[in-house]
Structure 1
Amino acid sequence: MRVMILEDDLWIADLLKQIVLSLRSGAEVSCLDQVAEALADWQQHGADLVISDWNLPDGPGTRLLERVRLDDHELPLVMITGRADRASVMQVRALGIKAFISKPFQMSHVATSLDKLLPPVHKRPDSSTGACEEDLLAHLATLSPAQLDLPLSQAVRDRLLDSFKGAPLDLRQLAEDWRHDPALGARLIAAANSSAYSGDARPCTSLLEVLQRLGATTSLNLATGLALRQTSSLENAQLRTLAEAHLDASERLAERSVQLARQCGLNPAPLHSAALLHRMGELCVLYQVQEWADRGQHPDTSQISQAIARFSGPFAVAIKARWQLPMALRELIGACYGLPNTSIKRELAIMFLAASELAATPDQALLARLRRLAGLS
């Protein structure tokens, strides 16, 4: 089964893709952001369901739906629009559109509508048994930035998936989860600073700024989309223990950096965000190892240690670049490990001071210098 999604907001497109895959795990989903590309894709590959935004950069999505309807009178069509009023619906009545998705949408309602329109998937025989042994480091080296992700905590993932099924989840709960879950924080920061939502506004680096920009419904939708996207949770006991250690380290750094920022009269929110994300590379490696294990592989302690040492740095760089995290936030994350050689901002000195204080063997001379740079002595 093949589903085509024509949507220029890449976050909404990915969200719809995850909904489709949650309903039909074997589906092939093609996401396109221009009408011309979608027309060519339809002519070449066809589809079993077409979902299209109304307004695209190179014209109305109705051009695609009209072409599809000329070729196929029965194929289910879905329109994404911010104008589902009666006049707009009547305007495209002749296309026989089966469902309208109004932005911002309720994911559970969208899932219910799509489930009725998607054809059933015939299960293929399970071929996972007898998987060949594969080298973990070689596997990790083949991953592209688009394949990298951070693991949601099991509790957060469960809450978000329950909300997808209709259970209530308010913004206060989302905000509380944000404070303790790097994957959720990074995802929402990335969305809020993307071209789809930021415009020319200044970068968002804190929870309050992000939630104000995205709004409640969009924030919940993007968070739930992340939960749907993740096919693995850290079920391996060793991986889970390592993740908890990295999360604890992030929490301690967040708490100390906030304390120091307040002593200096600075906004602590960006430092909290940076501290929460400063172990993203290690967490990403653990998530990829879990996905590798889910395919029948068996990581051992030595392999996991080597994977973290070799890939946590490159994976963190790749994620920050792909998600286009604000440069100010990247600088704060980098300051958890050291200071730049150029002029040093107070916020960076505070960040490195907090990290240095929590080191196993703090360097007292370094701490004294950092306190001076931060204006604390």
Structure 2
Amino acid sequence: MRVMILEDDSWIADLLKQIVLSLRPTSHVVCLDSVSAALREWQQRPAELVICDWNLPDGPGTRLLEQVRRDNSSTPLVVITGRSDRASVLAVRALKISAFISKPFQAAHVAASLAVLLPSTGDELHRPKTAHQDLLSHLANVPSHELQLPLKSHVRDHLLQRFKGESVDLRQLASEWQHDPALTARLLAVANSSAYNLAGKPCISLLDALQKLGADNSLNLALGLALRQCSVLDNALLRLFAQAHLDSTELLIERSTQLARQCTLDPAPFHTAALLHRMGELCVLYLAQVWQDSGQCFSEGHVLQALDQFSGPFAISIKAQWHVPLQLRELIGACYNLPAHNLKRENILMRLAACELNSAPDDPELARLRRLAGLI
């Protein structure tokens, strides 16, 4: 089944795509951000379902819907809009709209509406096989837009419960989110994107992102990530490696934020940087699980080689693609190295926290860093 989504907000478009794929995994979904592009797409490859925003940069989305109706009287049309007043509904009554969904929307409500309009093809459980190659060759060719970090399993489970309309304690969700690297990175990426960060002030913590995005939008983005991640770390070896990295993350969060408070500095960026400092490794493990789920296999040696070869490059790509602010990049870098030319006190403290966790107590480097930080 071919589904067309016309929405100029790329994050909302991706959420809608993930909802469609969660209902019908074999659907081909194309996302477009302008009326002109959507009209060209429709003329070349008509869709069996059209989901359309009303207000687009180059005109009203109703232009597309009118063209669809001239060509096909039965294609289901879904309008996603902030305009849900009676006059707007009446204005497009002749187009026989199948569903109106008002912004801001709840993902569960959207899913319920679309489920009625998406016919079952009977092959939802079939997953295409990936051409045989080894894990390292596969990772070398993964495009940057497919780089992801694995959600913690209980965070993903709770989000999917919410998506299915089940009651979930939102305060518990918020508490869980601050210890989940994938979710924190996702919300920071959106909050720091040009679509949301109009003032140009970077968000450096989960709280900053939640405040900028709002509760409803943040929850929808989290649900979109949970729906996107069809793979969880079921492989025992991958899960063991991931837990080791997450344990290291928690220890660094605790120590770096302690040092920040001791020096009367804001602990929030230290928390975020520590949470994300192993994102390259976590990305490798997530992609290895996706690889296994596609029907392939690997050895422990392959995983160790992959971690050594790809953790660094993946982390660099993620930081660029996800708009990680410079302050956080420097703090993350300080977990591994402290450049001689960059002696900001925040970076020194982060380096000190990392060294305290990985060095002998009498290591002279610890004394040097404490002096630089003004602690002795």
* Map of 1:266 onto structure 2: 265
Deviation at 1:291, TM superposition (A): 0.9
State whether structure 2 residue 15 is matched by structure 1 residue 35: no
Indicate the percent of aligned positions where both proteins have the same amino acid.
64
Please give the secondary structure, in 2, of the residue aligned with 1:358. Answer: helix
Deviation at 1:122, TM superposition (A): 3.5
Give the direction of change, closer, same or farther, for the CA distance of 1:261–1:67 in structure 2 (3 Å limit).
same
Deviation at 1:230, TM superposition (A): 0.4
Distance (Å, rounded) in 1 between the aligned partners of 2:131 and 2:4: 33
1:174/1:220 contact within 8 Å kept: no
Query: Map of 1:355-370 to 2, 5 A cutoff?
Result: 355-361=354-360, 364-370=363-369
1:79/1:100 contact within 8 Å kept: yes
TM-score (norm 1): 0.96
State whether structure 2 residue 77 is matched by structure 1 residue 77: yes
1:356/1:363 contact within 8 Å kept: no
AA at the equivalent of 2:40: A
1:197/1:214 contact within 8 Å kept: yes
2:134/2:298 contact within 8 Å kept: no
* Map of 1:168 onto structure 2: 167
Query: Map of 1:1-377 to 2, 5 A cutoff?
Result: 1-123=1-123, 126=126, 133-361=132-360, 364-377=363-376
2:25/2:124 contact within 8 Å kept: no
Distance (Å, rounded) in 2 between the aligned partners of 1:227 and 1:158: 8
Give unpaired runs (5+ residues) of structure 1.
Answer: none
- RMSD across aligned positions (CA): 1.7
Distance (Å, rounded) in 2 between the aligned partners of 1:137 and 1:40: 39
AA at the equivalent of 2:87: A
Residues 248-283 of structure 1 show CA distances to partners (whole Å, capped at 9, x for unaligned) of: 000000000000000010000111011000000000
Distance (Å, rounded) in 2 between the aligned partners of 1:127 and 1:280: 27
Distance (Å, rounded) in 1 between the aligned partners of 2:248 and 2:131: 36
Distance (Å, rounded) in 1 between the aligned partners of 2:47 and 2:135: 36
Deviation at 1:308, TM superposition (A): 0.3
2:256/2:271 contact within 8 Å kept: yes
Residues 4-31 of structure 1 show CA distances to partners (whole Å, capped at 9, x for unaligned) of: 0011111100000000000000000001
AA at the equivalent of 1:240: R
AA at the equivalent of 1:34: S
Give the direction of change, closer, same or farther, for the CA distance of 1:24–1:182 in structure 2 (3 Å limit).
same
1:48/1:119 contact within 8 Å kept: no
1:79/1:101 contact within 8 Å kept: yes
Distance (Å, rounded) in 2 between the aligned partners of 1:64 and 1:127: 33
Give the direction of change, closer, same or farther, for the CA distance of 1:341–1:60 in structure 2 (3 Å limit).
farther
Deviation at 1:362, TM superposition (A): 5.8
Give the direction of change, closer, same or farther, for the CA distance of 1:125–1:244 in structure 2 (3 Å limit).
closer
Distance (Å, rounded) in 1 between the aligned partners of 2:62 and 2:87: 15
2:203/2:325 contact within 8 Å kept: yes
Residues 63-101 of structure 1 show CA distances to partners (whole Å, capped at 9, x for unaligned) of: 111111111111111111112111111122121111112
2:127/2:294 contact within 8 Å kept: no
Please give the secondary structure, in 1, of the residue aligned with 2:100. Answer: strand
- Of 202-211 and 47-56, more deviation after overlay is shown by 202-211
Give the direction of change, closer, same or farther, for the CA distance of 1:216–1:138 in structure 2 (3 Å limit).
same
Distance (Å, rounded) in 1 between the aligned partners of 2:248 and 2:195: 33
- Of 325-334 and 230-239, more deviation after overlay is shown by 325-334
Give the direction of change, closer, same or farther, for the CA distance of 1:247–1:63 in structure 2 (3 Å limit).
same
Give the direction of change, closer, same or farther, for the CA distance of 1:199–1:170 in structure 2 (3 Å limit).
farther
Please give the secondary structure, in 1, of the residue aligned with 2:223. Answer: helix
Deviation at 1:372, TM superposition (A): 2.5
The runs of 4+ residues in structure 1 deviating greater than 4 Å are 124-129
Deviation at 1:363, TM superposition (A): 6.8
Deviation at 1:298, TM superposition (A): 1.9
2:334/2:350 contact within 8 Å kept: yes
- Of 191-200 and 71-80, more deviation after overlay is shown by 191-200
AA at the equivalent of 1:180: H
2:158/2:173 contact within 8 Å kept: no
Residues 163-213 of structure 1 show CA distances to partners (whole Å, capped at 9, x for unaligned) of: 100122344222211222101110111111112222114111112211111
Distance (Å, rounded) in 1 between the aligned partners of 2:370 and 2:138: 43
Distance (Å, rounded) in 2 between the aligned partners of 1:84 and 1:170: 29
Distance (Å, rounded) in 1 between the aligned partners of 2:169 and 2:192: 22
Deviation at 1:133, TM superposition (A): 4.6
Distance (Å, rounded) in 2 between the aligned partners of 1:124 and 1:264: 55
Residues 23-61 of structure 1 show CA distances to partners (whole Å, capped at 9, x for unaligned) of: 000000001111111111111111011111111111111
Distance (Å, rounded) in 1 between the aligned partners of 2:250 and 2:161: 26
Please give the secondary structure, in 2, of the residue aligned with 1:266. Answer: coil
Deviation at 1:152, TM superposition (A): 0.6
Please give the secondary structure, in 2, of the residue aligned with 1:195. Answer: coil
